[in-house]
Amino acid sequence: MRIDVLSIFPSYFDGLTLSLLGKAQDAGILDLRVRDLREWAFDRHRTVDDTPYGGGAGMVMKPEPWGLALDEIAGDVAAGEAGPPTIIFPSPAGEVFTQRTARDLATREHLIFGCGRYEGIDERVFEYASQLGEVRLISLGDYVLNGGEVATMAMIEAIGRLIPGVVGNPESLVEESHEDGLLEYPSYTKPASWRERTVPDVLLSGNHAAIAAWRRDQQFERTRRRRPDLLPSDDAAQS
């Protein structure tokens, strides 16, 4: 998979060279390219923002650098054999990112993340980008970050680990929170007794059927207590 990131703070993404995603890049499974949007700003100050038409607080990102950057990156690809990219703009005004979104995006050949500041990007950029690929505005949840960078990192990590070969043991992907719509069961390791707290007996029993049943039960119990909205019977989840 190829992932391009456009940001005015490219060094945010240095952390993505660590750990599993770093290894995936070394192995050629993931081709991650982070570019500074200012590369496509050509005035003396490399300006990427300006005051909003109609007035109001904050600044809006100018369309020109975005247009040139997207032309170059999508053009790059037009030269190869990959299909049109999926262009993601992290935004608190977007659809909410879930494990389902991650699974969907992990099947794409080419993702482009456009990191804006939260006051926003000139609306015409989204319209223009939709001529180059599928545009998705995606939010991490109902709170506000200063810009799209941290949200993009979270999404790249969630998507990247679903690319075949990135996580060493694919079985570990199946048992995680949200993969089956439930929270994951509690885990324990040695010692069996620690500071007067013991590991549940069933886990030491060697009875695999009983262990599986206990874990399933714990998943439901935790989900009911912490995240009832995830359960199909919850009315709030249907709205």
Q: Which residues bind ligand 6GU (CB under 6 A)?
A: 90-92, 118, 138-141, 143-145, 147-148, 151
- CB atoms inside a 10 Å sphere around CB 136: 19
Count of residues in the chain: 239
- Output 154 or 202, the one with its CB closest to ligand 6GU: 154
Could you tell me which residues come within 8 angstroms of residue 25 by beta carbon, excluding any fewer than 6 positions away? 17, 31, 32
- Output 85 or 116, the one with its CB closest to ligand 6GU: 116
| Rounded least distance, CB 136 to ligand 6GU, Å | 11
What are 120's two structure tokens?
Answer: 């926003």
| Rounded least distance, CB 127 to ligand 6GU, Å | 19
| Rounded least distance, CB 161 to ligand 6GU, Å | 19
| Rounded least distance, CB 194 to ligand 6GU, Å | 37
Q: How far is 196 from 183, CA to CA, in rounded Å?
A: 27
Query: b/e per residue, 96-121, with b = 16+ CB within 10 A?
Result: ebeeebbeebbebebbbbbbbbeebb
For strands 110-114 and 2-7, give the pairing. Answer: parallel
- Output 118 or 128, the one with its CB closest to ligand 6GU: 118
- Output 16 or 182, the one with its CB closest to ligand 6GU: 16
- Output 77 or 153, the one with its CB closest to ligand 6GU: 153
| Rounded least distance, CB 64 to ligand 6GU, Å | 22
- Output 137 or 167, the one with its CB closest to ligand 6GU: 137
| Rounded least distance, CB 137 to ligand 6GU, Å | 8
Instruction: Output the DSSP codes for 68-110.
Output: HHHHHHHHHHHHSS--PPEEEEEEEEEEEP-HHHHHHHTT-SE
